[in-house]
Structure 1
Amino acid sequence: MARLPARWMFASLLGMAVAVILPSAHAQSVALAGMLGSKALLVVNGGAPKSVAAGETHQGVKVVSTTGDQAVLELSGRRHTLRVGDAPVSVGAGGGAGAQAGQGNKIVLMAGSGGHFMTQGQINGKAAQFLVDTGATAISMTVADAERMGVDYKSGQRVQLSTANGVVIGWRTSLASVRVGDVEVFNVDAVVAARDMPFMLLGNSFLTRFQMLRENDQMTLIKRY
C-alpha cells in the first residue's frame, strides 16, 4: 500500500537545485538555484550557492547574461541557457558523454526554503518534477502524469490507496527508467493514483537504491546498485 502525504506543501523553486557530480575528476556540474536581482545563484559541483553577476566567473563557469528567471552560462567553451528549477548541465572530460548516457552515481540535492527537496528528472525519457518523499513506498504519480509519459499503468495491478481524503483507486506498475541528472536506474516500482497531486513523489522504490546522507540543507544520494 503506497502512502500519500496527508498534506501537500508548496515551496518556491528559488533556492532549490540538483547538482550531479560525474565520476571523472575533471567533470563539472552547474545548476541555477535562483536569481538575486540581476545575479545568478549558481551551484557548482554540489557546493554552496554563489551569486554571480553577468561577466563574472565562478569556478570556471562564466555568467554571460541574465534575464528574468534564466541565465546564459559558458562552460568549457560551450554556452548553455538554464532556467531556475531546470535540471543541471554536466560537462566531463569526455565532452559530457556520461551525462548523456545516465551513467553517473551521485546526486546532490539542496533543500528549498520550506525544507523540501525537489528536483527535475525523467521517467521513460519524459520530463518529470519530483518531490522527495521518504514516506512513500514507491514513486507515485497521477493518471494524467502516467498518460503523458506513456506509462501502461492499466496493465498493472489494480489497488486501493489510503490517503488523508479517503480511499482512491490506483495501479501498481513498473517504470522502465527513472533519471535524475546523469544518474539513471531501471525497472522502478511505481503507483499511479486516480487523484490530483501537485508533484510526483520520488519514493523509496528509487531512494533505496542509494546510500542517503543528509547534512543541513544538503542531501547526497550515492548509487548502490
Structure 2
Amino acid sequence: MLGPTWAHAQAVALAGVLGSKALIVVNANPPKAVGAGDEFQGVKVIAVAKDEATVEIQGARRTLRLGEAPVSVGGRSGSGKRILLVADGRGHFVNSGTINGQVMQYMVDTGASTVAIGRPDAERMGLNYQSGQPVRMNTANGVAQGWRMKLDSIRIGDVEVFGVEAIVTSQPMPYVLLGNSFLNEFQMTRTNDQMVLEKRH
C-alpha cells in the first residue's frame, strides 16, 4: 500500500514536547501530540528528545528543533504562498532563508521600513551594495552611512519575493532585519507565538 502523497509543500514545525510525544504543527494547523512510530498528515515521528524531534517526511529524515522555523517539504521551487513563523523565547521571529541564493539569518521587524543588512553580511553574500544609492541613517549610535539597493530575491522556505528594496548599513548586525519592503507583500496574521504571512498576489 502506498501512503498518501502530499503534492503541495508542507511547513512542519515542532511546537513543544509533551513527555514522550512531539507537538507537531503542519501548515499552521493546530499542534498535534505525536509519539515515536506514529504518523500525522504524512509526517512520521522517529524519535523525541528534550527540545527536538526526528521526523520522516516523504522518505527524508529531518530534525525539528523547538523555536526554529518550520521545515518546508515538497512543492515546486519558489511556488509557495504561505510562511509560518514561530516566535523564540524572547518573542522574536528569527529564522534562516536566502537573499539572492545566499543563506542569511533574519529577524522580522515590522517597525523597519525596508530590509536592512549589515555590511559584513552583505559582503559575505556578494551583494554589490556600493553601486547603490548612499544614504545617511539615524541609529541608536548616531548617524551612520548606508546604501540603498534592490535585492534580486528573498526566499523563505518555498516562498520567494523578487525585487525587494533594502538598505545595507555600515555597521554589522546580528540578523538581517526583514522590514516592510518585504512584509508588505504579505497579509500578516499573528496568534500567540505564531505568525502567518500569506502572499497577497
Q: Answer whether TM exceeds 0.5 for this pair.
A: yes
Give TM-score, length-normalised by structure 2: 0.83
Residue 3 of structure 2 aligns with which residue? none
Q: Which residue of 1 aligns with 2:105?
A: 129
| Structure 2 residue identity aligned to 1:90 | V
Query: Match of 2:122, SS?
Result: helix
* 1:153 is the counterpart of 2:135: no
Secondary structure of the residue aligned to 1:135 is coil
Q: 1:38 Cα deviation (Å)?
A: 6.2
Measured in 1, the distance between the counterparts of 2:100 and 2:163 equals 10
Cα distance, 1:198–1:26 mapped onto 2, change above 3 Å: closer
For residue 172 of structure 1, report the CA deviation from its aligned partner: 0.8
The gaps in structure 1 that reach 5 residues or longer are 1-23
Aligned partners of 2:39 and 2:45 also within 8 Å = yes
TM superposition outliers: structure 1 runs of 4+ over 6 Å: none
Please, which runs of 5 or more residues in structure 2 have no aligned partner? 1-5
| Residue equivalent to 1:62 | 44
CA–CA separation in structure 1 for the residues paired with 2:8 and 2:176: 33
Structure with more contact order per residue of length (Cα contacts < 8 Å, sep ≥ 6): 1
CA, structure 1 residues 33+129, in 2 after alignment: closer, same or farther (shift >3 Å)? Answer: farther
Distance 1:218 1:42 in 2: 13
Equivalent residue pairs, number: 194
Structure with the higher strand share, 1 or 2? 2
Matches within 5 A, 1:73-112: 73-76=55-58, 78-84=59-65, 85=68, 88-91=71-74, 96=75, 98=76, 101-112=77-88
CA separation of 1:173/1:80 partners in 2, compared to 1, >3 Å: closer, same or farther?
same
Q: For residues 193 and 125 of structure 2, what CA distance do their matches in structure 1 show?
A: 31
Query: AA paired with 1:164?
Result: A
CA contact (8 A) 2:11 2:84 kept: no
Q: Residues 130-168 of structure 1: CA distance to partner in whole angstroms, max 9, x if unpaired? A: 111111111111111111111111110111111111111
Q: Tell me if structure 2 keeps the 8 A contact 1:153–1:171.
A: yes
Cα pair distance change 1:216/1:71, threshold 3 Å = closer
- Whether the 8 Å CA contact 1:32–1:82 is kept in 2: the answer is no
| Identical-residue share of aligned pairs (%) | 52
When residues 59 and 195 of structure 1 are mapped into structure 2, their CA distance, relative to the original with a 3 A threshold, is same
RMSD: 2.5
Distance 2:24 2:112 in 1: 30
Secondary structure at the counterpart of residue 174 of structure 2: coil
Q: Which amino acid aligns with 1:55?
A: G
- 1:49 Cα deviation after fit: 3.7
Question: What's the offset of the Cα at 1:67?
Answer: 6.0
**Aligned partners of 2:195, 2:46: CA distance in 1, in Å?**
29
**Cα distance between partner residues in 2 of 1:212 and 1:168:** 31
Amino acid at match of 2:83: I
Cα distance in structure 1, aligned partners of 2:101 and 2:80: 16
